Amino acid sequence: MTTSDKHNGVRLVRVDADHRGQRLDNFLAGQLKGVPRAAVYKMIRTGQVRINGGRAKPASRLEQGDEVRIPPARTRESHAAPVSASVRQRLRETILYEDRDLLVINKPAGMAVHAGSGLPWGLIEALRQDRPGEYLELAHRLDRETSGCLLLARNGAALGHLTGQFRDGTVRKHYLCLLDGRLPEDLVEVDAPLSRTDVEFRGPMEVQEDGKQARTRFRLLQRYRDCSYVEAELLTGRTHQIRAHARHLGMPLAGDAKYSSREAVKRWRSRGLGRLFLHAHRLVVNALSGEPMEFDAPLPEPLREVLNRLEQ
């Protein structure tokens, strides 16, 4: 249900069951089609958008019955950027699992999950163009540079169920990564709070005492001469958590242009690594029935080739 104030153009939108559990920024993207993501974030940051009269954050989760205040906004004149048939076909080939509630994609590295920050489209826009009229919402996110398991909801009940699990920390999330350094022990757990260094949502995450709790477990898979192939398990779900904790250990992820030096990135490129070595290879969630479901995505061949060269 939507009401409006004719004098200032503000809308008050009541959240229905289909949008229960959705992030505020994603909800607004659907309500303000054509408005740049940067403008949406500015509305939230400056308090123009409110939930039940109170200020909120982009990652705030909505509940059924919440009232969202949405200010007027200037949209782009053009329609959503078309996504090529080749990209849409490529995404079809990355489907790991699908049923009436879930869609699991093996997200390619280099593809953002949604439009914004100068990008005319992302994975979610491409899928919606490929499946017009279908309900598709992101249940969580992966960084643009990260590949691997990405869950999408196919109805409102599934969205609320999945996002609730991510919010409560009951989803088991495992990543494969290459640390630029030798892990001193076979199992290292980092418990270090994180917060952003830039209020504009663009800066890196850093360990700070007043940050949000963040825990990552690094398990050694293979130790090489100057690096370590590990599985990282997220025990919490902060932005860039693995990348920030790896740097905190003094071993940033190989190929990480945001959390390591230019010299290090250049060195890894000379060794055949042209991307961030971070891959979401396993997710374990509960279906609506309560039954555990496990999804696995194999390590991409370019990353496998890097490991093969390290063996030589």
Same CATH fold, 169-311 and 85-166?
Answer: yes
Backbone angles phi, psi at 29, to 5 degrees: -60, -35
Tens of pLDDT along 128-146? 999 999 999 999 999 999 9
Q: What's the gap between Cα 49 and its chain centre?
A: 22
Tens of pLDDT along 24-67? 988 888 888 778 777 888 899 999 999 999 999 988 999 989 99
pTM, whole model, 2 decimals?
A: 0.81
CATH code matching the domain that covers 169-311, chosen among 3.40.50.1370, 3.30.70.330, 3.30.2350.10, 3.30.1310.10: 3.30.2350.10
Cα separation, 165 vs 168, whole angstroms: 5
* Residue 170: other Cβ atoms inside 10 A: 11
pLDDT score at 36: 77
Bridging pattern class, strands 137-138 and 2-4: unpaired
Domain residue spans of the chain: 2-70, 85-166, 169-311
- DSSP reduced 3-state for 122: coil
The angle subtended at Cα 108 by Cα 102 and Cα 112, nearest 5°, is 85
- DSSP reduced 3-state for 99: coil
Cα separation, 73 vs 39, whole angstroms: 8
- Catalytic machinery residues: 143
- DSSP reduced 3-state for 40: helix
Amino acid identity, position 199: V
CATH of region 2-70: 3.10.290.10
Tens of pLDDT along 168-223? 889 999 999 999 999 999 999 999 999 987 655 567 889 998 899 999 999 999 99
Backbone angles phi, psi at 87, to 5 degrees: -65, -45
Cα separation, 252 vs 180, whole angstroms: 6
CATH of region 85-166: 3.30.2350.10
- Do the Cβ atoms of 176 and 150 come closer than 8 Å? no
The angle subtended at Cα 142 by Cα 48 and Cα 177, nearest 5°, is 145
